[in-house]
Amino acid sequence: MSDVNTRLEHIFQQVVRRNQGELEFHQAVKEVIETLGPVLEKHPEYAEHKIIERICEPERQIIFRVPWQDDKGEVQINRGFRVGFNSALGPYKGGLRFHPSVSLGTIKFLGFEQTFKNALSGMPIGGAKGGADFDPKGKSDGEVMRFCQSFMTELYRHIGEFTDVPAGDIGVGGREIGYLFGQYKRITNRYESGVLTGKNPSWGGALVRREATGYGAVFFAEEMLKARGESIEGKTCVVSGSGNVAIYAIEKLHQLGAKVVACSDSNGVIYDRNGIDLELMKQIKEVKRQRVSEYVKSHPHAQYIEKGNVWDVPCQLAFPCATQNELDEASAKVLVANGLIALSEGANMPVTPGGIKVLQTAGVSYAPGKAANAGGVATSALEMQQNASRDAWSFEYTEERLHKIMCNIHRDCFETAKEYGQPGNYVVGANIAGFRRVAEAMVAFGII
């Protein structure tokens, strides 16, 4: 085993050397690699084919200029990205993120995670991610449209329903997907519905897609609690963020009888001991596109904590649904001290390595994002199925399919962790189960 660990450390150091300064990518790779020693022991053919080395290197990386004109007539220039990480299981699949923090390292970490997440979903899709350092906040609809059209004018030549199928992510919702699809249709002269997911249901989108990531994170938490002999009903919950994932995690938690007492945005935290008023929060975030501080104008009994830490609020269940590395070791210790029993990641890599260690040491059931938030991409794959068959499914049927997929992901993670001698360790279970599916396909295809 020591030889295997030495080999894995060498692989990781090689990744660091070849991807200098991309700290989030390093973090994502390290978190997976350090769990794979037992797999190489059991499957030496993976080492022979250098599967880990190949899986850490994206199949393609595209960077391009995105010029556009703002409402004042001034020319603006942003940078666009699309990284196709691995297509062993199907066409590249992963979202587009529009946010000022987007860099190549960010996109690579997300694409790497997406590869394993998509494999865990059981759907025939590979892993990719893309985006731009463009901020839709504060922009007019016209500015967002012109940016999306310029972005797609380059991206269109690299995507297709059998090649690469982007979707939404942070900063890319129904409005942006509409503008992107419209430009793709205009350039290609094809109504290729399956080329983008996250579309409006009225023109090819799937019902439940908007809700899927948040719902899925809750479904996974529900399965974790069942494995502990507990239930979601009656539990006090905290959800970070107030975007798409957070809002629909709150919705499903309410439907299952839990009480969500806090959520947040980048400016501060809302704490409502009576439970978050979901309809009001939807109005604030989805209709008016305002900050969560507006909540207290309608509910003066609630508390707004400017620049507060949502993880200071006592809870039994936690759902990080905002962004990467938002929950550190110190916050994890506070959550544990306040009675946390389970945490399910709605965002990608929101808990730092130190935070994960604290949670696992304390016996908290911890669900990594590649398993817990796979509901979004799984429902995107269901949208692709509907597009391919020119069909449209009901909300109830699609949610039933999503629920079954999340239960299957939990089962695979739980059983794999037990198989490799670490029962209850969902990090080990998710990493190994996802890796094995991709590895088997890569071995079958030969050295390509």
Every domain of the chain and the residues it spans: 2-55, 60-191, 210-372
Task: Return the CA Rg of the chain.
Answer: 21
SS3 (DSSP) at 212: helix
Contact between 118 and 125 (Cβ < 8 Å): yes
Q: How far is it, in rounded angstroms, from Cα 116 to Cα 118?
A: 5
CA distance 331 to 364: 14
For tokens 């620049």, name the residue. 307
* Neighbour count for residue 355 (Cβ, 10 Å): 24
| Residues 245, 217: Cα–Cα separation, whole Å | 9
pLDDT grade for 87, boundaries at 50, 70 and 90: very high
Q: Out of 3.40.50.10860, 3.40.50.300, 3.30.530.20, 3.90.950.20, which CATH number does the structure's domain 60-191 have? A: 3.40.50.10860
- For the beta sheet containing 317-319, the strands, ordered from the edge strand earlier in sequence to the opposite edge, are 303-306, 268-271, 259-265, 236-239, 317-319, 342-344, 365-367
Residues tagged active-site: 129
User: Can you tell me the mean pLDDT for 127-152?
Assistant: 97
CB distance 269 to 296 below 8 Å: no
Same fold, 60-191 and 210-372: yes
Question: Going by DSSP bridges, is the β-strand pair 126-132/92-98 parallel, antiparallel, or unpaired?
Answer: parallel
Q: Could you tell me what percent of the chain has a pLDDT over 90?
A: 96
Reported as a single tens digit per residue, the pLDDT across 159-217 is 999 999 999 998 998 999 999 999 999 999 999 999 999 999 999 999 999 999 999 99
Residue pLDDT, tens place only, 55-64: 999 999 999 9
Mean pLDDT of 264-287: 96
Residue 289 pLDDT: 86
Q: What is the pLDDT of residue 1?
A: 59
**Among 79, 86, 23, CA closest to 437:** 86
Segment 275-295 shows an average pLDDT of 95
How many Cα atoms sit within 13 Å of 381 on the Cβ side?
26
pTM for the full predicted model: 0.93
The CATH T-level fold of domain 210-372 is Rossmann fold (3.40.50)
How large is the average pLDDT for residues 281-291?
Answer: 93
Query: What average pLDDT is seen over the chain?
Result: 96
